[in-house]
Chains A and B, each alone.
Chain A
């Protein structure tokens, strides 16, 4: 299964600033997903990032707040813009084994723990 590395692993940022999170995969993958996990909560899907197309955002998430890049089949970035304390969460990158099987398991990085002060 794919090995996923995220950078940074954690950061403390001031409100009003932006942070870009990097996700590197050790193999080429078509579908990448960005999730958010607020303290003590479950995971919420932010967007799906496929190489060569614009990211698709879930309800409640917009491109201006969470711009995503997907320059190639092994890399993606998620930017959290104009941060507020409510953005304090763990942000997780994930990939799917097979783009042709929607039942294919997901594999996750260890996440980026963001604290906004």
Chain B
């Protein structure tokens, strides 16, 4: 299973752009990178997925360099409601059994 490494925590002020980087050096050729968001007392929620270059949706952008050994989740103009834990996952060479890392706890400060 591909292992991912993220910062344990990050702080940001409201209105700023937040970039969370995830390292996945052992990513396999067919693996996608998927990000989830988890609020307290809720299950994780899928927010974005990508394979290479850049993916954007209404919530976030995902930047993936050519070597695909890392990825960056970008949250534009965060608000207090973006305070959550963000998980980066890479399935790992055909495995359906996903391993969650420790995630990044984002705290947005007024």
Contact = CB atoms under 8 A, between A and B. Distances in A.
A110 B42 contact: yes
Interface stretch (A41-49, A64-72, A81-89): A41-49
B103 A42 contact: yes
A106 B36 CA distance: 9
A62 B84 CA distance: 32
B87 A94 contact: no
Per DSSP, are chain A's interface residues mostly helix, strand or loop, or mixed? Answer: strand
Interface in A29-46: 31, 33, 35, 42-45
Given A42-B102, A48-B96, A103 B44 contact: no
Given A45-B98, A102-B91, A102-B94, A94 B103 contact: no
B47 to A, nearest CB: 9
A58 interface: yes
A78 to B, nearest CB: 14
B43 A111 contact: yes
Size bracket of the B interface: 20 to 34
Contact of A103 (B43, B45, B91): B91
B49 interface: yes
Interface string B37-53: 00001111110010000
Interface string B73-110: 00000000000000100010011111111110000000
A103 B94 CA distance: 8
B14 interface: no
Q: Which of the listed residues B94, B96, B103 has the most CB atoms from chain A within 10 Å of its own CB?
A: B96
A58 B97 contact: yes
B94 A45 contact: no
Given A42-B101, A105-B49, A96 B96 contact: yes
Interface of A: 1, 4, 31, 33, 35, 42-45, 48, 58, 92, 94, 96, 102-103, 105-111, 113
